[in-house]
Amino acid sequence: MLPNFRRFITIYRGYERPFWVSQILLAIANLFTLLIPLMTQKLVDEGLLGGDKDALQQSVLWMVLFAFLSAIFTIANAWYAVQFGEHTAHAVRMKLYRKIQEFSFGNLDQFPTSDLMVRMTSDVNAIKAAVQQIILSLAQAPVMFVGALILIYFNSPSLMWILLIVIPIVIVVLAFFVTKMGTFFEIQQQKLDKLNSVLQEDLAGVRVVKAFVQNEYENRRYDRANREFRKASLHPMQYASFLQPTLYLIINLAIAGVLWFGGVSLTQGEVTVGEILAFTQYLATILTPLIILAVITPQITAAEASAERMFQVMDAIPNVPNSPHPLGLDIATAKGGIVFENVSFSYPVITSKKAEDNHQNHSSTLVLKNINLVIEPGQTVAFLGATGSGKSTLVNLIPRFYDVTSGRIVIDGVDVRNIPLETLHELVGIALQESILFSGKVGENVCYGKPEATEDEMVAAATAADAHGFVSAIPEGYDARVARRGTNFSGGQRQRLSIARALTIKPKILILDDSTSALDMATEARVQEAIKNMMADTTTLFVAQRISTVITADNIFLLDNGEIVAQGNHETLLRSNSLYQEIYESQLGSVPA
Ligand SMILES: Nc1ncnc2c1ncn2[C@@H]1O[C@H](COP(=O)(O)OP(=O)(O)OP(=O)(O)O)[C@@H](O)[C@H]1O
């Protein structure tokens, strides 16, 4: 039962000691609570009815003492509950975050950003709340229940039969409500996820929404999700609003029953007034933990669902695992030669239930088909082709953002799957198609891959990427602040800073994935020339749609629909390939004779 729940409660390392201490504190607090009705009995029978002043005083003093002790131990337990909850939430967040950092691009396709955000926030909160509740009340139910039964058995045995009627009724009522509410809470959690997903997506794309004047559409979309969440939240709360009054009605009826039958027994001298009063208190004592259990059970059910979603992330197997038998490739002596041998690739297709069960398989649509190519060390090559032809996919296979579906990619004679991932990522520097910067300083962004880079190295990289000029023009220079996602820089500036970031690590293989598309042709030519001068030994791969980007490359691979349909330098292709001529004409006018 509740397998995920049992797993997450152990996530907080060193949980055992605080867990047991908290439950012992709770048990002690409850034992003191149980002793109070005993004093009530003594107070009434010996003090009030028997006229024993000492008994009266003593029982009142004991009652006050027990009440204080119970409060102190309950507070200590609550302190542990808060600690336990927060430590668990912290540990869960850290584990999830670390796991996400290990994710390959394939894993990230599987769990979209909004999905991960919801799992890291609302699911973690559901788990935290449940953990706190458990610490606050786990030991309470058995201690109160068993303790009160024992005390009743010894003090008011003649009234015990009333319990045998009341307890089954209460259990049936509770079971009905708990089953109903558990289901409703699960639905509520799912609707909350949906609401958060809509919100996250809207906020991330708020500029597009404004640009396309789709505020009304987005309002309606959010309103729909919001309504569904409201409806889903109303159900369990409506049931909950019935639960407590129903239980209190049963308790009050039971107390009336106790007073009635107790009164009859009293007249026959079978019980005392104190016993009757103590019994009514025990009745409430036995039923209170059951009510608490009823309240926390749906919470635990919700937390179980959240924990399952959390473990789907934690248990996700990296799509590109490190080789168990890595082969040494010395970065210092690596040359950067790349060979593709019969490489085919299709993106993993994620089934509709993908995020739920982490199941995925490969589609039959090949994005790359039987690619064979050789890139010599130190060469500058370019991949040219229409949008969607597979250029980015092809270069993404080199640093193993995805693994090939068949065939192999070899760097300096070693299959990339046998190179430790860390070494591979030191070997290959990439400026991605989407230039994302982090909030912080410009310099921190340029040195992101090599924080220990000297100022000279940083400036050299920025100069080669043609970024030094505009960075120096800012009064704060490399200390200037970068807003989140680099929104305070232009698209071209962001691209140049991303290129500088890739250059700083001085990779043996440099991949620029459409990274100069926002630059004018003169700047692009300058950047290419500077990179060539700075990184003469580096194998450089350009992905491009513009002929101007590839003109100076040693070799150009022309891609069409996932296949390499031609290769050669600019002059050769312009002379011999009709597709290249077509692209040339569409961009630069008629082909020179
Ligand atoms: N993460 C992904 N999951 C599934 N399919 C993808 C993914 N990324 C790309 N594709 C598909 O793979 C094909 C090739 O895409 P790719 O991005 O490699 O093309 P490209 O030539 O680089 O295009 P562009 O010049 O527009 O960037 C396209 O049909 C695209 O829809």
DSSP states along 512-580: EESTTTTS-HHHHHHHHHHHHHHTTTSEEEEEES-HHHHTT-SEEEEEETTEEEEEE-HHHHHHH-HHH
What is the distance, to the nearest Å, from the Cα of residue 575 to the centroid of all Cα atoms in its chain? 54
Report the alpha-carbon distance of residue 275 to residue 476 in Å, rounded: 82
* Residue that is written with structure tokens 């209170």 in the block: 288
Atom of ligand 1 nearest to the CA of 392: 22
Residue 392 CA, ligand 1 centroid: distance in Å: 7
The Cβ-side half-sphere exposure at 352, using a 13 Å CA radius, reads 0
Tell the residue nearest (CA) to atom 9 of ligand 1: 393
Q: Atom 14 of ligand 1 has which residue's CA nearest to it?
A: 390
Pocket of ligand 1 (CB under 6 A): 109, 347, 367, 385, 387-393, 433, 514, 545
Token pair belonging to 22:
């908290």
Q: Which helix (H) or strand (E) holds 435?
A: none
Distance 565 CA to ligand 1 centre (A): 18
DSSP letter (8 states) at residue 485: G
Q: How far is the CA of 64 from the centre of ligand 1 (A)?
A: 74
Point out the ligand 1 atom lying closest to the alpha carbon of residue 349.
4
- H/E stretch holding 372 reads strand 368-375
Residue nearest to atom 5 of ligand 1 (CA): 347
pTM of the model: 0.72
Q: How many CB atoms lie within 10 A of CB 518?
A: 16
Q: What is the DSSP letter of 408?
A: E
521-534 vs 491-504: helix crossing angle, rounded to 10: 10
Q: How far is the CA of 448 from the centre of ligand 1 (A)?
A: 26
The residues that bridge with 557 in the sheet, in sequence order, are 383, 567
Mutate to test the pocket of ligand 1, among 111, 391, 514, 545 (most ligand atoms within 8 A of CB): 391
Q: Which is the closest atom of ligand 1 to the Cα of 433?
A: 27
Ligand 1, atom 30, residue with closest C-alpha: 388
pLDDT in tens, the chain (593 residues): 667 777 777 776 666 788 888 889 999 998 998 888 888 888 888 888 888 888 889 989 999 999 999 999 999 998 888 888 888 888 889 989 999 888 888 888 888 777 788 888 888 888 888 888 888 888 887 888 888 888 888 877 777 888 888 888 888 887 887 777 777 877 887 788 788 878 888 887 887 888 888 888 989 999 999 999 999 988 878 887 887 788 888 888 888 888 888 888 888 877 888 888 888 888 877 777 777 777 777 777 778 878 888 888 888 887 787 877 777 777 778 888 999 999 999 987 655 444 444 444 445 689 999 999 999 999 999 999 888 899 999 999 999 999 999 999 999 989 999 998 888 988 999 888 788 888 889 999 999 988 898 999 999 999 988 899 999 999 999 999 998 778 888 888 999 999 999 999 888 999 998 887 778 888 888 888 888 888 878 999 999 888 888 888 899 999 999 999 999 989 998 888 888 888 888 887 777 76
Distance of alpha carbon 174 from alpha carbon 295, whole angstroms: 10
Which residue's alpha carbon is at the smallest distance from atom 31 of ligand 1? 388
Taking a C-beta distance cutoff of 8 angstroms, is the pair 364, 284 a contact?
A: no
Nearest Cα to 402, choosing from 96, 101, 108? 108
ipTM rounded to 2 decimals: 0.95
**Where would I find the H helices in 386-534?**
391-396, 421-427, 442-446, 455-464, 468-473, 491-504, 521-534
- Phi-psi category of 136—alpha, beta or left, where left has phi over 0 and alpha has psi -120 to 50? alpha
Cβ pair 73, 32 in contact under 8 A: yes
Give the DSSP H or E segment for 43. Answer: none
- C-alpha of residue 388 to centroid of ligand 1, in Å: 5
User: Nearest residue CA, atom 25 of ligand 1?
Assistant: 387
Q: Phi, psi at residue 161, to the nearest 5°?
A: -60, -25
Q: Which domains does the chain have, with CATH numbers?
A: 3-314 (1.20.1560.10), 378-400+419-588 (3.40.50.300)
- Protein residue whose Cα sits closest to atom 2 of ligand 1: 347
Instruction: Give, for ligand 1, the residue of 371, 392, 433, 563 to mutate: max count of ligand atoms closer than 8 Å to Cβ.
Output: 392
SS in 3 state form for 283-299?
HHHHHHHHHHHHHHHHH
Cα of 561 from ligand 1 centre, angstroms: 10
- Rounded distance, CA 123 to CA 295, Å? 19
Output the pLDDT for position 354: 42
The alpha carbon of 390 and the centre of ligand 1 are apart by a number of angstroms equal to: 6
Place of tokens 């039987």: 370
Q: How far is the CA of 245 from the centre of ligand 1 (A)?
A: 59
For the CA of 389, the closest atom of ligand 1 is 21
